[in-house]
A and B are shown apart, each in its own frame.
Chain A
Amino acid sequence: MYLTNTETIPGKEITACYGLVTGNTVRAKHIGRDIAAGLKNIVGGELTGYTELLNESRQDAVERMKAEAAGLGANAVVNVRFATSSVAQGAAELFAYGTAVRVE
């Protein structure tokens, strides 16, 4: 499965378009990570645990988007976009969307 955030896949030709595909995950952090992050909140800087958590979750969202695309018969998703929003205390939604296409 090819993924890009440009309108085309370099060196390939788009032969069919299947429209919008999306994938999301809502994840909450766990308490251990939160205690470490709480200490970091005093001295500032990167909250490594959260960075990893959001990266894993985004990967999940991408996998769901790919699965939807594959189900439609696509072999690539172009124009991929990401969005993150906090939906509740200690939880965030990771969202990925793009256009499913077939390339040759």
Chain B
Amino acid sequence: MGVLIQLGLFVVMLTLGFVVGRVRESRHLSELEVRETRMRHVAALPVPHAAWVRDAQASELVSGSVVVSIDYYKRFVAGLRGLVGGRIAGFESVLDRGRREAVLRMQEQALQRGFHVVVNVRVDSARLASTMSNGKGTSGVEVLAYGTALRLPAHARPSA
């Protein structure tokens, strides 16, 4: 009986993870595209663009971060993948979404504070340890994007 309940719970979580996880992922992806289009003019560069830094009227450190977790179904598939090796597409897409989200939040913060571009952008990720000693419990990955936002005179701004 106990085994049946456990199996039932497993199937429910797997289905829930698969269905809800997919819906949430596709919703997030289309939302990311809309926001990325809107933020395109707030250039975010990984280098300290010399001309912009020289012309800047003001600067400030800006950042964006997000903690993402993978759904139950993808975690299960990743476990199987661990047996045979190879790419784990489920993790790739979650991390990709996390990075895009973090960069967007950084750009949105820059825009909101009246800046035009972000230079010297760094993107870091850190795995957060699971909350229970047996390796179960919740776990997630934090993605942090940060850089120096610059306010540029009208003539120096990149065209949208």
Contact = CB atoms under 8 A, between A and B. Distances in A.
B81 to A, nearest CB: 16
Interface string A42-62: 111111101100110010000
Decide if the interface of chain A is mainly helix, strand, loop or mixed.
mixed
Contact of A6 (B68, B74, B120, B133): B120
Nearest to A91: B129
A28 to B, nearest CB: 9
B128 A92 contact: yes
B25 to A, nearest CB: 7
Nearest to A43: B20
Contact of B67 (A5, A51, A58): A51
Interface string B81-117: 0000000000000100000010000000000000000
Interface residues of B, number: 52
Given A10-B59, A92-B142, 4 more contacts: A4-B61, A34-B131, A45-B21, A86-B127
Nearest to A50: B67
Contacts of A85: 126
Interface in A48-102: 48, 50-51, 54-55, 58, 80-92
B54 A10 contact: yes
A78 to B, nearest CB: 9
A7 interface: yes
30 contacts: A2-B59, A3-B60, A4-B60, A5-B147, A6-B59, A10-B57, A10-B58, A10-B59, A11-B56, A37-B140, A40-B138, A41-B72, A42-B71, A43-B16, A43-B21, A44-B20, A44-B21, A44-B70, A45-B71, A46-B67, A46-B68, A47-B69, A51-B142, A82-B63, A83-B124, A83-B126, A84-B124, A84-B126, A89-B137, A92-B128
A17 interface: no
Nearest to B101: A46
